[in-house]
Amino acid sequence: MSTSIATASLSDALPSTVPKLDASGSNWAIFVFHFEDAIEAKGFWGHFDGTVSRPVPADVTAPTTTEVVAIAQWDKDEQSAKSLLTQKLPDSTVVVVHGKKTVKERWDGVVMEFSKKSTYAQADMWAKLMAMRCPNKGNLREFLEERRISSSWSNGGGKGLLLYHHLFPTICPL
């Protein structure tokens, strides 16, 4: 009996590799990668994207035992999915999305809110980058490494090199 309780508790928790979403949205891009991977690994992603809908009995007035079991399992999985989502959200966001009926509706609300916040964060970061200036005849690599930009750009799936070439004339005048 205690084994099944422990197993249920473990399946209802996300790994520590999934960061808590910052209320400002500053970690949205990395959060969404970790979160989606963890939810997919637990088998609940269909609840988030709406591809796994609640079963409907063929005869609503007299559902079969199999249909009742399937509905009960879906309801349990839906509750688990909601719990997994709220574990990693800021309290202010939980309050906003908690009234939504399904985890898909909650997730859609989170995506909408934090995609906007992420866009603002990116614009702010871009403005700060554009304001940077490498000293005249300075070493660009050292300049970027001092600001730890090169390492964060190198994790951008190839975008770092593109940004490097785009920004080079701006931040390091010849």
What is the reported pLDDT for 5? 41
Q: What would the pLDDT profile of 78-105 be if each residue is shown by its tens digit? A: 999 999 999 999 999 999 999 999 999 9
pLDDT(48) > 90: yes
What is the reported pLDDT for 153? 44
pLDDT(142) > 60: yes
Strand, coil or helix: what is 117?
A: helix
Signed CA dihedral, 138, 144, 145, 146: sign only:
positive
pLDDT(156) > 50: no
The residue to which tokens 């209802």 are assigned: 12
What is the reported pLDDT for 158? 41
Work out the mean pLDDT of the chain and round it to a whole number.
79
pLDDT(149) > 90: no
Helices (H) and strands (E) in the chain, counts: 9, 0
Signed CA dihedral, 68, 108, 9, 38: sign only:
positive
Q: Which two tokens mark 100?
A: 């939504």
What is the reported pLDDT for 144? 73
Count of CA atoms in the C-beta half-sphere (13 A) of 140:
11
How would residue 118 be classed by pLDDT, with cut points 50, 70 and 90? low
The residue among 32, 38, 112, 115 whose CA lies nearest residue 81 is: 38
Q: Which two tokens mark 124?
A: 């702010």
